[in-house]
Structure 1
Amino acid sequence: MIDPLQASSRLAGAGLEAQSMRLRIVSENIANAQSTGKTAGADPYARKTITFRSEFDHAIGSASVKVKEIGTDRAPFQVTYDPGNPAADENGYVKMPNVNMLVEMADMREANRSYEANLQMMKQTRSMISSLIDLLRGA
């Protein structure tokens, strides 16, 4: 078992890693929100999802967060009429990605706030370690 300061650093690090991956997935979704298929009638970019799991970390004696899987959203693709698009089918309809920008922006904001909270926890832990070292020097 490691000391509480190391444990809190380790927990914050796991949270930072998980939220960083979540931000990467959200960024990919936003970047591909208008990516159609390459050929007529082809499927466009499919929104990616991320799932987390709680995992017991024996070294710190507490639960931690890990990425469980990166999946694909099974929501139907949006269809728009755009006969001039190279990805349009014979009726002029184009399948558009199943990416909802409002959902992605909300996910990005939540992930960013969680990332900042874990970063603040890391900073507080470092501050406590620094204070402990200062106390030990004075003793």
Structure 2
Amino acid sequence: MDNDLMKAMQISASGLKAQTTRMRIIAENLANSGSEATAPNEDPYRRKIVSFANVLDRTIDAETVKVANVKFDQADFGMRFDPGHPGADAAGYVKTTNVNGMIEAMDMSQAQRTYQANLNAIDAVKSLSVRTLEILR
């Protein structure tokens, strides 16, 4: 396989891996979207955010994408008045997670589209490689 085609495949593969991590974190956020404090001084689940970075891959002499880090979203928790809840504070409020299902759904859709775009790029590279081999016969 041509070196440039191999580079293209490896760059797309790094994108697949990064988006897989992003989709896993989004799924974790969605799974915990109903989280709330279980005791007055406890916090509920805090949303996680994935950040990416371009990293030079010296083996292929090209930049690839990697997960730079997974951080906690510092947005405020929600508050719900429920004085009978075991997690309620002295004023009767319970902390709820800072996960917003609509935002997570949009992020998941974007991650899936990006994942599919990387798959399409890999398929194109494979197709070009096959065509090149057919020409060389």
Same fold (TM over 0.5): yes
- Return the alpha-carbon distance in structure 1 between the equivalents of residues 134 and 60 of structure 2: 25
**Residue of structure 2 equivalent to 1:110:** 110
Aligned amino acid, residue 44 of structure 2: P
**Residue of structure 2 equivalent to 1:69:** 69
Question: How much does 1:9 deviate?
Answer: 0.7
Residue identity over aligned pairs, in percent, reads 38
Aligned amino acid, residue 121 of structure 1: A
**Residue of structure 1 equivalent to 2:46:** 46
Question: How much does 1:70 deviate?
Answer: 0.6
Matches within 5 A, 1:80-119: 80-119=80-119
TM-score under structure 1 length normalisation: 0.90
Q: Which of structure 1's runs of 4+ aligned residues deviate more than 6 A?
A: none
Aligned amino acid, residue 126 of structure 1: K
Query: Root-mean-square deviation (CA), in Å?
Result: 1.4
- Return the alpha-carbon distance in structure 1 between the equivalents of residues 14 and 22 of structure 2: 12
| Greater CA drift, 36-45 or 49-58 | 36-45
- Return the alpha-carbon distance in structure 2 between the equivalents of residues 21 and 87 of structure 1: 32
Aligned amino acid, residue 113 of structure 1: R
Secondary structure of 1:129 counterpart: helix
Structure 1: tracts of 5 or more residues without a match = none
**Residue of structure 2 equivalent to 1:123:** 123
Structure 2: tracts of 5 or more residues without a match = none
Equivalent residues of 1:41, 1:95 under 8 A apart:
no
Question: How much does 1:100 deviate?
Answer: 1.4
Equivalent residues of 1:78, 1:98 under 8 A apart:
yes
> CA deviation digits over 1:1-24, x for unaligned, max 9?
x70111111001000000111111
Question: How much does 1:68 deviate?
Answer: 0.5
- Return the alpha-carbon distance in structure 2 between the equivalents of residues 33 and 129 of structure 1: 45
Secondary structure of 1:35 counterpart: coil
Aligned amino acid, residue 85 of structure 1: H
TM-score under structure 2 length normalisation: 0.91
Is 1:18 equivalent to 2:18 in the alignment?
yes
Count of aligned pairs: 136
